[in-house]
């Protein structure tokens, strides 16, 4: 039986890889311009990191993790999980290597695969890739502006400068808790009508109820008395000032945004600013980018109290939206009756930075030229005359013009 790729995973090959490389190259340029350093953390971590870090009221932890035990019945048996996201891993690394002792702010960017056992559909895979940044050490709203600006600049660099930016403030621990309590209070009479997930969220993290996509739950949120509480301006004066300042910065940067009071994000670690960047062209899975502040996470995972903020973008979703790049033709295809001469010339061309190839099966001239015209801009013909008299016949495969080149340097 033929073995196929797992449901929710995708092979990336051929010309698709050109667009992928371009997405990552742009990320590297834009992020490094803003002084973010690349960080690579392991693809699997201790399960506990995500249970505690991402939070046990989230769908990710409750339903979507690829968790398995290694070490068998051995006393060293450990539960590990393929990372469903990268913030928790970067925070773990930050704490483990005392990166708080390096000059602040500490700014990192990453690209890599993430794993979530979700029901696959357009824009939603079980193995997908994220391009993201995390920044530690700055509590001021300038950091929030810097992070949103970086996301928007990256999207601009790949031709997606006009997507919708939504922001919200969840408040700090104090005001968030008061808000949670009033949500619980107003939803109490409807508790039995909420979906099973929301019943669990009601106990563990009532804010996340607002993220529910269930139509019956949404109808409850539309009720006058519930809506009043949900849309209530509950955040405290400090959080309000932080949020207002952020808006001033975004206005000054000419970044268009809207405030979405229902935006609570699907992970537990957020406080104050949260944001998403969406594209209506993507259908139901419209978010290309999600992020926010997580000022309590470093301390919660055992580090010193450290404010932090970041975002991650779904690379597959970006891929769907961007104009696709084509494989460029190579510089030279060497057409020759002598494999040795062809090998030697290809080696020299490559050493000098030219993309060059030749026919390893040393087929007839006609076949070699046919191949050259498919993949190369020019053919270098090395026939008996060329080899004995020491020159190159260079055929421009776009125009058909052929010229005699006597000096290797003129090929470069």
Q: Is 124 in the site for ligand HAM (CB under 6 A)?
A: yes
Q: What whole-number distance in Å separates Cα of residue 191 and Cα of residue 194?
A: 5
DSSP letters spanning 138-184: --SHHHHHHHHHHHHHHHHHTT-TTPEEEEEE---HHHHHHHHHHHH
Helical (H) or strand (E) element with 88 = helix 87-96
Pairing of strands 308-314, 127-136: antiparallel
Least distance in angstroms from the C-beta of 269 to ligand HAM: 8
Q: Between 57 and 86, name the residue whose CB sits nearer to ligand HAM.
A: 86
Please select the residue that binds ligand HAM; options are 51, 125, 205, 279, rule is CB under 6 A.
Answer: 125
Nearer to ligand HAM, 264 or 356 (CB): 264
Secondary structure of 292-347 in HEC code, one letter for each residue:
EECCCHHHHCCCCCCCEEEEEEEHHHHHHHCCCCCCCCEEEEEEECCHHHHHHHHH
Work out how close the CB of 221 gets to ligand HAM at its nearest, in angstroms, rounded to a whole number: 21
Tell me how far, at minimum, the Cβ of 86 lies from ligand HAM, in Å. 6
Backbone angle region of 236, left / alpha / beta, with phi > 0 → left and psi within -120 to 50 → alpha:
beta
Residue nearest to ligand HAM (CB): 314
Distance in Å, CB of 106 to ligand HAM, minimum = 14
Number of residues that bind ligand HAM (CB under 6 A): 26
Beta carbon nearer to ligand HAM, 46 or 122: 122
Closest CA to 147 of 313, 318, 316: 313
Q: Which is nearer to ligand HAM, 117 or 391 (CB)?
A: 117
Cis peptide bond N-terminal to 144, omega within 30: no
Restricted to residues 45-104, the positions that interact with ligand HAM (CB under 6 A) are 85-87
Nearer to ligand HAM, 295 or 331 (CB): 295
**How many angstroms separate the CA atoms of 24 and 395, rounded?**
35
Least Cβ distance, residue 29 to ligand HAM (angstroms): 20
Residue 119: CB minimum distance to ligand HAM, A: 9
156: its two tokens: 């601009």
Which span sits near ligand HAM by CB under 6 A: 121-129, 150-158, 216-224, 350-358? Answer: 121-129
CB of residue 223 vs ligand HAM: minimum separation in angstroms?
A: 28
Q: How far is the CB of 82 from ligand HAM (least distance, A)?
A: 13
* CB-nearer residue toward ligand HAM: 289 or 335: 289
What's the min distance (Å) between Cβ of 296 and ligand HAM?
Answer: 13
**Do 200 and 55 form a contact (C-beta atoms < 8 A)?**
no
Q: CB nearer to ligand HAM: give 124 or 245.
A: 124
Spatial CA neighbour of 226 closest among 185, 174, 197 = 185
The three-class DSSP label of residue 104 is coil
Q: Say which residue the tokens 């690829």 belong to.
A: 66
Closer residue to ligand HAM in complex, CB, 148/313: 313
Q: Count Cα neighbours of 115 within 13 Å in the Cβ-side half-sphere.
A: 14
Instruction: Give residues 310-329 in contact with ligand HAM (rule: CB under 6 A).
Output: 310-314, 316-317
Cα-flanking dihedrals φ and ψ of residue 14, to 5°?
60, -145
Identify which range of 72-80, 124-132, 241-249, 346-354 contacts ligand HAM by CB under 6 A: 124-132
**Which residues from 127-146 bind ligand HAM, rule CB under 6 A?**
128, 130, 132, 134
What angle do the packed helices 141-157 and 16-33 form, to 10 degrees? Answer: 150
Provide the mask over 254-273, with x wherever binding to ligand HAM is found by CB under 6 A and - wherever it is not.
Answer: ------------xx------
Residues 274-313 that bind ligand HAM (CB under 6 A): 287-292, 310-313
- Return residues touching ligand HAM (CB under 6 A): 85-87, 116, 118, 124-125, 128, 130, 132, 134, 266-267, 287-292, 310-314, 316-317
């Amino acid at each position: 039986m033929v073995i196929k790729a797992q449901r929710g995973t995708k092979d990336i090959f051929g010309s698709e890889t050109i667009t992928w490389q371009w997405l990552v190259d742009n990320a590297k340029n834009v992020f490094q311009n803003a002084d973010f350093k690349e960080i690579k953390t392991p693809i699997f971590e201790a399960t506990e990191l995500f249970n505690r870090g991402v939070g046990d009221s989230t769908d990710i932890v409750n339903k979507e993790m690829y968790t398995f035990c290694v070490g068998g019945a051995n006393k060293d048996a450990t539960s590990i999980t393929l990372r469903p996201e990268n913030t928790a891993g970067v925070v773990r690394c930050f704490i483990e290597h005392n990166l708080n002792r390096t000059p602040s702010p500490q700014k990192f960017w990453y690209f890599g695969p993430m794993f979530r056992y979700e029901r696959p559909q357009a824009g939603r895979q079980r193995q997908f890739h994220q391009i993201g940044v995390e920044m530690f050490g700055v509590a001021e709203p300038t950091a929030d502006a810097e992070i949103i600006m970086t996301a928007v600049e990256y999207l601009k660099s790949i031709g997606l400068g006009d997507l919708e930016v939504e922001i919200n403030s969840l408040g700090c621990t104090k005001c968030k808790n008061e808000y949670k309590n009033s949500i619980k209070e107003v939803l109490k009479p409807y508790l039995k009508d909420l979906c099973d997930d929301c019943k669990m969220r009601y106990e563990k993290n009532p804010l996340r109820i607002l993220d529910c996509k269930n139509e019956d739950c949404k109808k409850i949120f539309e009720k006058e008395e519930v809506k009043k509480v949900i849309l209530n301006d509950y955040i405290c004066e400090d959080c309000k000032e932080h949020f207002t300042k952020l808006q001033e910065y975004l206005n000054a940067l000419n970044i268009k945004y809207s405030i979405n009071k229902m935006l609570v994000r699907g992970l537990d670690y957020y406080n104050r600013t949260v944001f998403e960047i969406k594209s209506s062209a993507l259908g139901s899975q419209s978010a290309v980018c999600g992020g926010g502040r997580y000022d309590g996470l470093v301390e919660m995972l055992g580090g010193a109290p450290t404010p932090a903020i970041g975002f991650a973008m779904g690379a597959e979703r970006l891929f769907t939206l961007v104009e696709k790049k084509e494989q460029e033709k190579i510089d030279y295809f060497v057409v020759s009756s002598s494999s040795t001469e062809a090998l030697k010339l290809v080696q020299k061309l490559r050493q000098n930075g030219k993309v060059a190839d030749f026919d390893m099966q040393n087929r007839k001239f006609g076949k070699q030229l046919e191949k050259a015209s498919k993949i190369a801009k020019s053919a270098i013909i090395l026939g008996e005359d060329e080899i004995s008299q020491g020159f190159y016949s260079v055929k421009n495969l776009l125009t058909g013009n052929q010229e005699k080149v006597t000096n290797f340097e003129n090929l470069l």
